[in-house]
Amino acid sequence: MKKIIVILSSVSAFLFAPLVPATLLSYDIVVDGMGAWSGSIPRPFGLPPQPAPLTGKLTVDNTKTDKTGLIDLVFVTGAKTWTENLPDRTTPAPTSFKFDALGNLTDFLVNLNDAPGFLTLASNNTMNASDGTSSIFCNSCVHFSAAAAAKAPIPGTLALLVGACAAAGGLARRRRSTR
């Protein structure tokens, strides 16, 4: 009986512990300069002096806080579409991600090089883009929000939980049948 109680308490502690499952998270990015765009004229990539909001999508792995956590990025700046994804990783440091206790993205910094140009995106802070001859930037202009149906738990996490529940049920049933 003690053995079953120990096993069940271990399984329940595991099941109800504050787990943050490995998850791929997708976010919509909007850069709105609100008329406060700075940089050189003409703007890079054919952008007008005061462009409409720039948009993109970012997908990250919430178990990694360095550049390996960047799964996919698509961001459009005028005639230039910036893309970065696995296994085609060329992202230089510094690229970083921060997550809260529930595994949701709270901050990010992404730098992409496409010599002679570059793109820097920092959450709720700065966007800077250059084509090598001209540049555009804004401060306090990057905003992000979770995309619809963003969370997709890694199958191994779910398999482990189902397996633990099955093992606990099997032990309890076996104990009952041997009486």
Give 128-170 pLDDT, tens digit per residue. Answer: 888 888 998 888 888 888 876 444 455 556 566 677 767 777 7
Which residues make Cβ contacts (< 8 Å) with residue 148, sequence separation at least 6?
none
84 and 140 part of one domain: yes
Which domain covers residue 179, as residue numbers?
A: 1-21+155-179
24: tokens are 């791929």
124: tokens are 């709720």
Is residue 63 pLDDT above 70, yes or no?
yes
Q: Is the Cβ–Cβ distance between 105 and 60 less than 8 Å?
A: yes
First vs last C-alpha separation in the chain: 11
67 and 115 part of one domain: yes
User: In the prediction, which pLDDT does 165 show?
Assistant: 63
pTM: 0.64
User: In the prediction, which pLDDT does 15 show?
Assistant: 46
122 and 144 part of one domain: yes
Give 68-126 pLDDT, tens digit per residue. Answer: 788 888 888 888 888 876 555 555 556 788 888 888 888 888 888 777 888 888 886 78
- Residue keyed to tokens 């793109």: 119
For residue 94, say if its preceding peptide bond is cis, omega within 30 degrees of 0: yes
144 and 163 part of one domain: no
11 and 92 part of one domain: no
Q: Is the Cβ–Cβ distance between 164 and 14 less than 8 Å?
A: yes
90 and 137 part of one domain: yes
61 and 121 part of one domain: yes
Total domains present in the chain? 2
142 and 174 part of one domain: no
